Structure 1
Amino acid sequence: MQFTIIARDDTAEGTLDRRLANRAAHMERIHELKAEGVIIDGGAMLDEAGRMIGSIVLCDVPDRAALDALIASEIYYRQGVWKDIDILPFRRVAWHSA
């Protein structure tokens, strides 16, 4: 099953600092999961000034329980960076250029 994680960062003071402090570990894990095919793609959501305010991650997992376990193990979730998380199922489409 494929899901979109839309994770908005906490707006509390210090959240961006926590995000930046944990970014290397977050990215290392994302690259591992992408190599395994669990992560399809993703990136940081930005505000008008270009500051990171959340994440969008496209995932391919066996079921919702696997997605919930993935989120629970995510360093941004564990460190209180991600606060509001929306989950949307999606269907990947192979785009072909003309």
Structure 2
Amino acid sequence: MAIEILTKEDLNQFHKSLLEDIKEILKGKNEQSKKWLKSTEVRKLLNISPGTLQNLRINGTLTYTKVGGIIYYSDLDIEKLFEINKVQATPNLFKQQ
């Protein structure tokens, strides 16, 4: 098995690529973005279980609108959730000793 060494530049490139992929998903670059999403769409987007989504509603982490028994989530609220929970990268995390 070959050993590959990752450099800071490799990690920075991966970080940039990952952020671009997330932005593309959130903005609906490949398809027109919907303003309101149903629970199944949100669960698929966030890759979470129905129970986790329910907990996000109950504790007020994610706002929602209920119309005729169907729960809808604003795409802007989901994007805001990502921004609020963003963790800044620690530049010295992979510092060589």
TM-score range, shorter chain: under 0.3
TM-score after normalising by structure 1: 0.25
Question: Structure 1 or 2: larger strand share?
Answer: 1
TM-score after normalising by structure 2: 0.26
Point out which structure has higher relative CO (alpha carbons under 8 A, 6+ apart): 1
Larger Cα Rg: Structure 1 or Structure 2? 2
